[in-house]
Structure 1
């Protein structure tokens, strides 16, 4: 009897897969997608826009983008023209779609790419101005401009920023880039200017609602409202017709109602030459200094006397003009007590950053003076370098505090 066995088919039945491709980017909310796209260089953003209709919509509607020419090969006029044309097309196609944040960084120094000389013709400046004007038409709220590394024979000309939507503006410029800068913004709250031009100093700001101002370089014309915070860092002036002390006093007089003020080494010395305007509203004062030389302290004391309501003091360390040991020593606690600083009884918080290139005893004596005479002091932070001698630390630890202040020692890393 033969047994019949059903033979199993050797053929494999195709497996049906339920998996399918998903466009995960399209499934994200537009806000998150735009945030991701804002991290892309302009070239990658343009390539993304060519992938599909949906990608093109996202590409043209992104509210935050930055043109960084340091990452673009513009080593010849032809390459520059192709890049600039692509930017023009992008801005033209997106129309007046709102821009929240627009940044532009020009870097067309020679020999960035290979040995070719980059295009520095007048068309570069005109394109630059047109891109800024486009952002202003699109109601930009944050505008960042860095043209500190552009070297054009005739610069980029005059720049006028007039906007009813702009809230934050920053610009960094070198000596030859811009002739005149005019800023008009009724909603402008934050302004940062790094202005190094020694030949073109016509900068005008008309903004009544500015709360925070950071000015690094050379002071110029301005009409500002009641500032909450201001930082003034004068650069070294070369031109004979520019007087840094007059500019500094004029600037400080116009913002005398500021509540939080930061001054650098050069500004403190410049103010000393012309007299200090009253600063009754300042309760938070920071100084960026390189050393505690006798020359600097003599300039600093009148500024401190002009702040009767000071409660927060921050001594920041900056790159120091080197001084000899005898130039940074000799001012004892008795000197500081004789200075009769009006805010001493109400001072509450102090931070002192001892410079890593620590010299002399003046700064140590100043800290001891605060510890022993500031009766309302709540907290002091002392940041010290490795080279600070144990004798100085011991002297600080043995100071007889008049208050119950919490003293924190932090070693500079």
Structure 2
């Protein structure tokens, strides 16, 4: 009895203080191996290294985990870490990979900040990190890795670009590759090898050889998604029968840059180019594209081809005064678009009073991102609304570029809006208007409230200084019985 009592007390103490480590380990170890590996997949290498010390069973599980994450290192700590400590860390990671052997690797994630001391005349021995990092990548390839995510700043002493390990492009198992490696050059892989890549995401890298994109066109027959962000690129020409999505985001592109994208399966294209030179060219041949984003300066030749399947588009360009023809041509090609987002500069450029209006008969959702509702903007907005007779949802969003309100914002009253005979007014059901300075926006809101016979919902957001005018707007005689909400908001850039 005394022995049983001691056992009972011991068990109670263990449960109360959370000391039943052995039982917890047994419960974890008895789970199916696939479930354990799924749990371990989110662990960084520091945690896996700790678990390796718990027991032989845990060590086997951690070393056979198909997910290896060399992440979780504090960036500031690594920047201040002495060379000796960095060397110990690198050696530890080497040993971890060596202990894994040839265990299959589903995913490999590496986030690493290189070390450099600018005060030194010669590189410290941390320069060897570059070789070790390349060895880790080679190890992942050898272990038949499927997903690779690399965010690496190599050690940079001489200032010369560093070649990206080409072995990764010879991997038949690789399906997804994300690379963010400044000062790193991508060279053209061998055309004799057919890649099974499905996703390629490159950020802040250098591609000087046009052959790299030719390799994508010829050797990546399974590629569905490609994204290029802030890369040093001169020309992009991709003709792909498998590509479904293409993203190009660059704030600075080069003088002779040509972007040519062609693909019968392309459904989504996002191109964002600011500060593009006058000689840059954008050509898109994607007859089945459904979603399109064009954002940035229009100082180039645009050739969008046929867009008969287009459903959603955001045209947020910043054309200069004499280039409205290009914007007008772009909007005129959106004959089938149903959801459309435009910014103020695009509206002004495409909808000049002396031009024939853009006809967008299929649009049922329209969002306009504008600053103050100035007098020179109102005719362009009217021209645009005339071309959207089937509009059901209208969102006029306030997107200012300055805290200083613009003047000349009160010329057009409700009588002006009545005279325009806008076809959408009988169709529109849902309206949101964010008001800015002046009365032009308020008068448009009044016109919609009083004449939209099918209006079901309207949200009017206003600035604090417009409170008195909003009080009068609330007294409008509505043509229907919509749910109307008034919300005060703060001015912002």
TM range (shorter): 0.7 to 0.9
Does residue 412 (structure 1) correspond to residue 489 (structure 2)? The answer is yes
Counterpart among 171, 190, 214 of residue 248 in structure 2: 171
Counterpart among 203, 207, 210 of residue 105 in structure 1: 203
Which segments of 5 or more consecutive residues in structure 2 lack a partner in the other structure?
A: 1-21, 44-65, 74-92, 109-140, 176-195
Deviation, 1:257, is 2.3
Counterpart among 126, 131, 140 of residue 223 in structure 2: 140
Mapped partners of 1:209, 1:279: distance in 2? 19
- Deviations along 1:35-62, whole A, 9 cap, x unmatched? 9899968999x98876623353544566
What secondary structure sits across from 2:372 in the alignment? coil
In the alignment, is the contact (CA less than 8 A) between 1:96 and 1:137 conserved in 2?
no
What secondary structure sits across from 2:207 in the alignment? helix
Does residue 402 (structure 1) correspond to residue 485 (structure 2)? The answer is no
| Structure 2 match to 1:290 | 371
| Structure 2 match to 1:304 | 385
Deviation, 1:145, is 1.1
Deviation, 1:168, is 1.5
Mapped partners of 1:224, 1:376: distance in 2? 34
Compared with structure 1, are the counterparts of its residues 131 and 204 closer, same or farther at alpha carbon in structure 2 (3 Å cutoff)? closer
- Deviations along 1:125-175, whole A, 9 cap, x unmatched? 23797389459716222222112xx5xxxx532111222222111101234
Counterpart among 293, 305, 311 of residue 228 in structure 1: 311
Mapped partners of 1:34, 1:99: distance in 2? 22
Compared with structure 1, are the counterparts of its residues 131 and 34 closer, same or farther at alpha carbon in structure 2 (3 Å cutoff)? farther
Mapped partners of 2:403, 2:264: distance in 1? 44
- Deviations along 1:107-135, whole A, 9 cap, x unmatched? 7xxxxxxxxxxxxxxxx323797389459
In the alignment, is the contact (CA less than 8 A) between 1:41 and 1:67 conserved in 2?
no
Which segments of 5 or more consecutive residues in structure 1 lack a partner in the other structure?
A: 1-16, 108-123
Counterpart among 34, 38, 49 of residue 27 in structure 1: 34
Single out whichever of 372-381 and 390-399 deviates more from structure 2: 390-399
| Structure 2 match to 1:370 | 448
Deviation, 1:349, is 0.8
| Structure 2 match to 1:125 | 207
In the alignment, is the contact (CA less than 8 A) between 2:213 and 2:236 conserved in 1?
no
Compared with structure 1, are the counterparts of its residues 103 and 367 closer, same or farther at alpha carbon in structure 2 (3 Å cutoff)? same
Does residue 56 (structure 1) correspond to residue 137 (structure 2)? The answer is no
| Equivalence map 1:5-84=2 (5 Å) | 19=25, 27-28=34-35, 52=100, 53-54=102-103, 56-59=105-108, 60=141, 65-68=148-151, 72-73=153-154, 75-76=156-157, 80-81=161-162, 84=164
Deviation, 1:249, is 1.2
In the alignment, is the contact (CA less than 8 A) between 2:147 and 2:174 conserved in 1?
no
Compared with structure 1, are the counterparts of its residues 63 and 343 closer, same or farther at alpha carbon in structure 2 (3 Å cutoff)? farther
Does residue 268 (structure 1) correspond to residue 347 (structure 2)? The answer is yes
- Deviations along 1:35-91, whole A, 9 cap, x unmatched? 9899968999x98876623353544566555555xx524644678426x22xx2333
Does residue 314 (structure 1) correspond to residue 395 (structure 2)? The answer is yes
Mapped partners of 1:62, 1:78: distance in 2? 31
Mapped partners of 2:328, 2:213: distance in 1? 36
Compared with structure 1, are the counterparts of its residues 212 and 57 closer, same or farther at alpha carbon in structure 2 (3 Å cutoff)? closer
| Equivalence map 1:239-278=2 (5 Å) | 243-273=322-352, 274-278=355-359
- Deviations along 1:245-297, whole A, 9 cap, x unmatched? 11011111222222222211111111123432322112211111111001000
| Structure 2 match to 1:159 | 236
In the alignment, is the contact (CA less than 8 A) between 2:340 and 2:366 conserved in 1?
yes
